[in-house]
A = this chain, B = another copy of it.
Amino acid sequence: MQVIAIVPAAGGGTRLGAGVPKQYLPLLGKPILAWTIRALLAVPRIGEVIVVVPAGDEGRVAREILAPCGLSVARVVAGGAERQDSVREGLRVASGAELILVHDAARPLIGAAVVEAALAAAAETGGAVVAVPVTDTIKRADGAGCVAETPPRGHLWAAQTPQIFRADWIREAHARALADGVSATDDAMLVERLGYPVRLVPGSTENLKITTTADLMAAEQILRGRGVTW
């Protein structure tokens, strides 16, 4: 079953400093984005990675990140204003795959075994989301700032990526979201709202999304603990 991966990396978030979008910042000497693409390409069933970057960055990312890192089976296209727009741009150029995998640019520590498990679940169910059990106690607020409900924690999962879907389902989901003016915090929500089943696949807390300096330090520590070098 052919799989194409889409990596939305068009965010301009520079919270980590240096005025550089976080996906380009170095992690043990290589851009975070390069580690992420490399982790996906380590999964044999992923035939191609489509990287969606800010318009104007395509050439530079191809020349300065992908080529020097030997990541030749990745393609670079320009994204849109929001993450959802960028995934849609990726879908526009992805052709031929039966499954589409979407993975955050800032999650470079994803392991191949988790991706394989999610691919198997998606092949069976049509949709799969990597997630970890919620450790916080979550409160749902009412309109007045009081607690309306504390949902039982045992039923709650924090979604990560990859999120993997039948290509026809995710295309329909993004088309319908655009037509309906719906935005969501992950791709699965757009698929769920059409009533298609999405399986939860247990991942790892090590698959962290790098958003702060502390995350970057933790990611370096995890990579060193794994004995990984480029």
**A residues engaging B (CB < 8 A)?**
125, 129, 131, 134, 136-141, 145-148, 150-151, 153, 155-159, 184-186, 188-189, 192, 197-200, 214, 217-218, 221
Which residues from chain B contact A136 at a C-beta distance below 8 Å? 134, 158-159
Q: Which of B157, B199, B217 contacts A138 (CB 8 A)?
A: B157
Minimal Cβ-Cβ distance residue in B for A221: B214
Which residues from chain B contact A131 at a C-beta distance below 8 Å? 139
The answer to whether B153 touches A141 (Cβ under 8 A) is no
Minimal Cβ-Cβ distance residue in B for A151: B140
Which residues from chain B contact A192 at a C-beta distance below 8 Å? 147, 150
Interchain nearest-CB distance for A198 vs B (Å): 5
The answer to whether B146 touches A198 (Cβ under 8 A) is yes
18 pairs, CB–CB < 8 Å, chain A vs chain B: A129-B139, A129-B147, A137-B158, A138-B158, A139-B159, A140-B155, A141-B155, A141-B157, A141-B200, A147-B188, A147-B192, A147-B198, A147-B200, A150-B188, A150-B189, A153-B185, A214-B221, A217-B217
Which residues from chain B contact A150 at a C-beta distance below 8 Å? 159, 184-186, 188-189, 192
A146 to B121, CA, bound (A): 10
The answer to whether B139 touches A188 (Cβ under 8 A) is yes
Which residues from chain B contact A153 at a C-beta distance below 8 Å? 185
Interchain nearest-CB distance for A213 vs B (Å): 8
The answer to whether A134 touches B129 (Cβ under 8 A) is no
A186 to B135, CA, bound (A): 12
Interchain nearest-CB distance for A99 vs B (Å): 17
Interchain nearest-CB distance for A156 vs B (Å): 6
